[in-house]
Structure 1
Amino acid sequence: MKVSERVEKLRQLMEEKGMDAYIVPTADYHQSEYVGEHFKVRAFMTGFTGSAGTAVFTKDEAGMWTDGRYFIQASQQMEGTGVMLRKMGEPGVPSVEEYLKETLGENCVIGFDGRTVGVDEGQVYADIAAEKKGSVIYDYDLVDEIWEDRPPLSEKPAFLLDVKYAGETVASKLERVRAAMKEAGANTHIITSLDDTGWLLNVRGDDVEYFPLLLSYTVVKMDSVELYVDERKLNDEIKAEFEKNHVCIHAYNDVYEAVKKLGADDVVMIDPRRMNYALYNNIPDSVQTVKQENPTILMKAVKNDVEVENIKKAHIKDGVAHTKFMYWLKKNVGKIEMTELSASDKLEEFRAEQDNFLWPSFEPICAYKEHGAIVHYTSTPETNVELKEGALFLTDTGGHYYEGSTDITRTVALGEVSQIEKDHFTAVAVSMLNLADVKFLYGCSGMNLDYVAREPFWRQNLNFNHGTGHGVGYLGNIHEPPTGFRWQFRPNEIHPFEANMIITDEPGIYIEGSHGIRTENELLVCNGEKNEYGQFMYFEPITFVPIDLDAINPDLMSVKEKQLLNDYHKKVYELIAPHLTEEEQEWLKEYTREI
């Protein structure tokens, strides 16, 4: 079936169930940002494959809301489908909630699969329906009736993350979580977010492509843990560790019936942004709930010292792989045939040569020329193009190692590029370096500091339509809350920077139909001097790969900015050169020279 035929079939099912609107979000049952193949329902119904978006179907219209990272991609992928692109945040574009309020009439019925919609989000839909004397129906997955060859749930095995990598035992983590529960007045805590369970129990899986996550629900009590998971994925080593920590195993979907049995003595702590609406509504009304952010969110974002040292090792490995790749690109472009996809494979080959490499940490973005302007472009056999001299090539990629996860973007000049591309490249490099160099007082969040990155763009009446940086998980989610660099208010990304957080620094410029440039390093948040004015803090770059001097225009850089680049390149050579061949070392010396 074409997308238009799927939409028509969905409307028939909506009519049967008496629904006036049906909402299809991106999430799985755990409010995950990236989902496994079984859960790619929104992509199936719209043709848009990006990682963020909400589709809304009514009797007469089909709309797909997504953010600025995906405007170009969504427009291209949904062309001719009959699904209208709704550009979130753009003037005159209503939000999903505003659209429902404007479009639906009295006694309307809003439908959605309550397992894929968060508590707060589901309540908003319920409130909108109630205002119109209508209701919500959340217990039907209508798309499942249309998707005949839907992929099954993953059955891939899980693995234990040794304490030499995790840096803290499960017992210690449970003790900290239970202390937070006690402080909140709760004796039961339901965790549905996959990376939180992975961190808490030092277990990882392979249930979401690229992300080492295990499909599971966790209920923490004061003397035991109830884990809802496909037991076939667990080996004897994991089961022994679970037994030691009083972790009891139950079937994955049994959690929905289990929460119905919670009693009046249970005080349940839940995170309404991370629990799904269906599970929440199975908790009896007589049970008291405490709604607050999972304590594990901040605990896992602040890395322990073992994790920090491991992550630094992972970045050296990644720096070696990426530097070898950059050398290979420069040496071979125009001499051998290479494409976006073959170059992406080559970069993964270099990573695979490093010890303890597992797999890529997210879907690779390898974008040549005008494809670089599509912020989250994914090359496919249909879009794949040959790399030739005379243009820029952007790679935003990463790797999972037992020592941690990496996320790096480099844009490389293949041969000689235009003056405007060099000027834009320089603005991006200057932005990235200036943000990495800031000093600030404890209490600052990414909203305080984002201006440092955007100032070089705003001065030229330019901007980039995505956040400047995000937290990075340790073998978890590559986008990790609760902090990030953004100039606009985001309630889940305003936590002050804490020492040992890891955050990316990734400004960019995107000129549709021409080129895209992004340069990204990861930063470690560090404590500086503490005096009568408070605790001063700074960032330590932990990504070490050259910034392509072939694309730099030194005339646009101040003395300070040149020094920042020179100092960074000196560190790159010092840390990466010992791991390279003599030829590669000579090349690296040239590409980290002082300007």
Structure 2
Amino acid sequence: MKDNIIQRLEALRQAMRTRGIDLTIISHVDPHQSEYMADHWHLREYLSGFNGSAGTLVVSLDDAKLWTDSRYFLQAAQQLDETGITLMKDGLAITPSITDYIRTTLPSGSTVGIDGMLFSINSERDLKEKLGEVGINLVTDFTPADEVWANRPPLPSDKAFIHDMKYAGESTRDKIGKILARVKEAGADAILISALDEIAWALNLRGKDVAYNPVVTSFLYLGKTGSTLFIDDVKVTDSVREYLAGNDISIAPYNSVLKFASALPLTTKVLVDPGLSSSALVTALGKRILLGRSPIPLLKGIRNDVQIEGLHRAMLRDGIALVRSFMEIEETLSQGKRLTETGVCKILTRNRSLQPDYFDDSFGTIAGYKGHGAIVHYEPTEESDAEIYPDGLLLVDSGAQYLDGTTDITRTVSLGNPTADERHDFTLVLKGCIALASAVFPEGTCGVQLDILAHQYLWKEGKTYLHGTGHGVGSFLNVHEGPQSFRNRIDHLTTVPFAPGMVTSDEPGLYVTDKYGIRCENMILTVVDRETEFGRFLRFDTVTLFPFDINLIETSMFNDDEIKWINEYHKKVYDLLTPSLNEKETAWLAAKTQPISRK
């Protein structure tokens, strides 16, 4: 495999020489700026061997480097070994940005080549400006994939299907009306949507084009004089075609979106989100373009009553599957049978798949035993698959796509003989999880203001984690969505005020290299707490239903409120799940949810 990577990089360099390009940037992205995407767009993985969901490959004629964040430092180091590609640990003070690296490496007059369909408008403009300051040229039509990628996977051809109103809770016609009203407020006549989750939500369509994310590869134009879905015809069934026509939406080929955009009347103002849309649209739309935030993430991020009811049903079924899965894990180990990390993944998927309305997992299960748990987004492979024994910590981050809701949960459990350090660190992390879940705050509060609640106990001991504390979760859509998030930096996600109906993950962690990883994750629903003379106050309702490992809690570190919270949460889990469990399962859950007290 390592030899293949070296050969592939040389083929890329030959394509660069032919075009007169000195350096190219290969991002892990598709024309829709997706986090997860169809195999057709996995060029960075093909060229580097690194398969993390975040990372950018930079290749010059004599060097190659890959930037990725802290979630993937260990994984990337392993996968890039002996490929000639240098790991650049993004986010560390000693690591230059990609742009700064290029500016200080290439001489004036050099040429950088990118594929404009795979760069957002914002990122392409920023790159062009900064490179131009030092006399480096940027070309945006370098598309080497078809030339260097042997046997490139085709675009997905799976059929799109309609997401029933009993799950969606709002019609496509009503959603389009709300979208166009906000488009008009922004001063535009139409909107061109690239983000696949936005399209799926707006049209109540779903598909299987991307692993774990039930989206459909397409572009969507919504206008006051007509709307068009750009999609490969093979994906459209007769019922979907009829459904779209009933909502006044015509169909055009997927690859015709740029031609369509360039043929629109010059007087048409088209709203395009510069962070979610390809820079190639700027050339196609010309003076028709109006750059601005898409109104859809906020509309989509606030669940309606039908979706909230569906979320609770999905969490109940997920909790049942988790009880059966962790029971099976324990029984397998106690019987001395062989169990590996991939075996844990299979157990979880099998038990979830037996639940009504199961569609898929919501992401690749992370099952990290001992040191593998310290690799933040570790996903076991045939090569890395570790055998699990009845001792040490096991970190399991998993979730499912049900027709009525998306789930995401992380539990860290002791398989036997937890050390004092493991218990201490677990308790620090859980205290942060509880503190965030218990927050009461005035309307208008953002994620960057609340994030410190989850970090505080770790920071007091000089410890931290570098990933975000929480992300928005879709409704039978992407497990990672906006518009809100918890993170200790200011950006477009952390400055969105929380609103009733938003669903977010709450997942602080701590990772000790080569020893263990700890993460405690629940999903929380924003609800109204009360109204006073000072305004409306909000809080979070924890909707995930599965216990934390009480054997890892150092109760002397808990205060009275934390003791009360964990006991009340575990009682809720027990009360809601046991009507669906048999006698053996009920007894197991009773042991896992017994009340704790300070020793």
Give the TM bin, normalised by the shorter chain: over 0.9
Q: What SS does the corresponding residue of 1:510 show, helix, strand or coil?
A: strand
Distance between the aligned counterparts of 1:163 and 1:493, measured in 2?
A: 31
* Residue number in structure 1 paired with 2:398: 397
Pair 1:204-2:206 in alignment = yes
* Residue number in structure 2 paired with 1:529: 530
* Residue number in structure 1 paired with 2:29: 27
- 1:373-394 superposed Cα distances (whole Å, 9 cap, x missing partner): 0000010111111110111111
Distance between the aligned counterparts of 1:230 and 1:392, measured in 2?
A: 47
Identity level (%): 36
Range with bigger deviation, 533-542 or 417-426? 417-426
* Residue number in structure 1 paired with 2:362: 361
Distance between the aligned counterparts of 1:478 and 1:129, measured in 2?
A: 35
Distance between the aligned counterparts of 2:126 and 2:25, measured in 1?
A: 12
**In structure 2, what residue type is equivalent to 1:290?**
L
Pair 1:290-2:325 in alignment = no
1:332, distance to aligned residue in structure 2 (A): 2.6
User: Contact 2:374–2:512 at 8 Å: present in 1 too?
Assistant: yes
1:340, distance to aligned residue in structure 2 (A): 0.8
Q: What SS does the corresponding residue of 1:425 show, helix, strand or coil?
A: helix
User: Contact 2:505–2:521 at 8 Å: present in 1 too?
Assistant: yes
Which 5+ residue runs of structure 2 have no aligned equivalent? none
User: Contact 1:114–1:277 at 8 Å: present in 2 too?
Assistant: yes
Distance between the aligned counterparts of 2:512 and 2:418, measured in 1?
A: 15
* Residue number in structure 2 paired with 1:258: 260
Range with bigger deviation, 390-399 or 97-106? 97-106
1:140, distance to aligned residue in structure 2 (A): 2.5
* Residue number in structure 2 paired with 1:41: 43
* Residue number in structure 2 paired with 1:171: 173
**In structure 2, what residue type is equivalent to 1:77?**
Q
**In structure 2, what residue type is equivalent to 1:196?**
E
* Residue number in structure 2 paired with 1:300: 300
1:475, distance to aligned residue in structure 2 (A): 1.8
**In structure 1, what residue type is equivalent to 2:175?**
K
* Residue number in structure 2 paired with 1:124: 126
Distance between the aligned counterparts of 1:132 and 1:180, measured in 2?
A: 40
TM-score by length of 1: 0.98
User: Contact 2:549–2:592 at 8 Å: present in 1 too?
Assistant: yes
Aligned residues: 593
Distance between the aligned counterparts of 1:583 and 1:237, measured in 2?
A: 46
**In structure 2, what residue type is equivalent to 1:392?**
L
User: Contact 1:481–1:493 at 8 Å: present in 2 too?
Assistant: no
User: Contact 1:270–1:294 at 8 Å: present in 2 too?
Assistant: yes
User: Contact 1:334–1:388 at 8 Å: present in 2 too?
Assistant: no
1:492, distance to aligned residue in structure 2 (A): 3.1
1:289, distance to aligned residue in structure 2 (A): 2.3
Distance between the aligned counterparts of 2:234 and 2:484, measured in 1?
A: 36
Distance between the aligned counterparts of 1:539 and 1:101, measured in 2?
A: 46
**In structure 2, what residue type is equivalent to 1:452?**
L
> Which portions of structure 1, spanning 4 or more consecutive aligned residues, are displaced by more than 6 angstroms?
none
Distance between the aligned counterparts of 1:125 and 1:546, measured in 2?
A: 47
* Residue number in structure 2 paired with 1:581: 582
User: Contact 1:110–1:125 at 8 Å: present in 2 too?
Assistant: no
Distance between the aligned counterparts of 1:494 and 1:49, measured in 2?
A: 30
Query: 1:39-78 maps to which residues of 2 (within 5 A)?
Result: 39-78=41-80
User: Contact 1:546–1:569 at 8 Å: present in 2 too?
Assistant: yes
Distance between the aligned counterparts of 2:146 and 2:496, measured in 1?
A: 38
1:416, distance to aligned residue in structure 2 (A): 2.1
Q: What SS does the corresponding residue of 1:4 show, helix, strand or coil?
A: helix
- 1:71-90 superposed Cα distances (whole Å, 9 cap, x missing partner): 11111110111111111110
User: Contact 1:109–1:129 at 8 Å: present in 2 too?
Assistant: no
Q: What SS does the corresponding residue of 2:528 show, helix, strand or coil?
A: strand
User: Contact 1:451–1:487 at 8 Å: present in 2 too?
Assistant: yes
- 1:25-45 superposed Cα distances (whole Å, 9 cap, x missing partner): 011111001111111111111
- 1:443-469 superposed Cα distances (whole Å, 9 cap, x missing partner): 111111111110110111110110010
**In structure 2, what residue type is equivalent to 1:197?**
I
**In structure 2, what residue type is equivalent to 1:362?**
F
Distance between the aligned counterparts of 1:129 and 1:529, measured in 2?
A: 52
* Residue number in structure 2 paired with 1:241: 243
User: Contact 1:31–1:116 at 8 Å: present in 2 too?
Assistant: yes
User: Contact 1:186–1:290 at 8 Å: present in 2 too?
Assistant: yes
**In structure 1, what residue type is equivalent to 2:331?**
K
- 1:481-508 superposed Cα distances (whole Å, 9 cap, x missing partner): 1111111122233201011000000011
* Residue number in structure 2 paired with 1:325: 325
User: Contact 1:482–1:494 at 8 Å: present in 2 too?
Assistant: no
Q: What SS does the corresponding residue of 1:23 show, helix, strand or coil?
A: strand
User: Contact 1:160–1:202 at 8 Å: present in 2 too?
Assistant: yes
Range with bigger deviation, 519-528 or 228-237? 228-237
Pair 1:462-2:430 in alignment = no
User: Contact 1:108–1:132 at 8 Å: present in 2 too?
Assistant: no
Pair 1:406-2:407 in alignment = yes
User: Contact 2:159–2:234 at 8 Å: present in 1 too?
Assistant: yes
| Root mean square deviation, CA, Å | 1.2
TM-score by length of 2: 0.97
Distance between the aligned counterparts of 2:163 and 2:70, measured in 1?
A: 36
* Residue number in structure 2 paired with 1:109: 111
Distance between the aligned counterparts of 1:493 and 1:35, measured in 2?
A: 24
1:586, distance to aligned residue in structure 2 (A): 0.9
- 1:105-161 superposed Cα distances (whole Å, 9 cap, x missing partner): 212211011111101111122223432344322223213311112111111111100
User: Contact 1:30–1:193 at 8 Å: present in 2 too?
Assistant: yes
**In structure 2, what residue type is equivalent to 1:14?**
M
Pair 1:511-2:512 in alignment = yes
Distance between the aligned counterparts of 1:302 and 1:137, measured in 2?
A: 40
Distance between the aligned counterparts of 1:216 and 1:338, measured in 2?
A: 41
1:539, distance to aligned residue in structure 2 (A): 0.1
* Residue number in structure 1 paired with 2:550: 549
Distance between the aligned counterparts of 1:339 and 1:368, measured in 2?
A: 9
